[in-house]
Amino acid sequence: MKCLYCNATESRVIDSRPTDEGLAIRRRRECVNCGRRFTTYEKIETMQIMVVKKDGSREAFDADKIRRGLIKACEKRPVAMHDVDALVRDVEQQIMNSLEQEVSSARIGEMVMERLRNLDEVAYVRFASVYRSFCDINTFMEELKTLLGRHNE
The string of pLDDT tens digits covering residues 15-24 is 999 987 777 8
Q: Is the dihedral of CA 145, 147, 152, 153 positive or negative?
A: positive
Task: Specify whether 39 is located in the same domain as 54.
Answer: no
In a domain, 2, yes or no: no
In a domain, 3, yes or no: no
Whether residue 135 has pLDDT greater than 80 = no
Whether residue 132 has pLDDT greater than 70 = no
- Whether the model pTM is above 0.95: no
User: Tell me, what DSSP letter sits at residue 132?
Assistant: T
User: In whole angstroms, what is the distance from residue 6 CA to residue 63 CA?
Assistant: 35
In a domain, 27, yes or no: yes
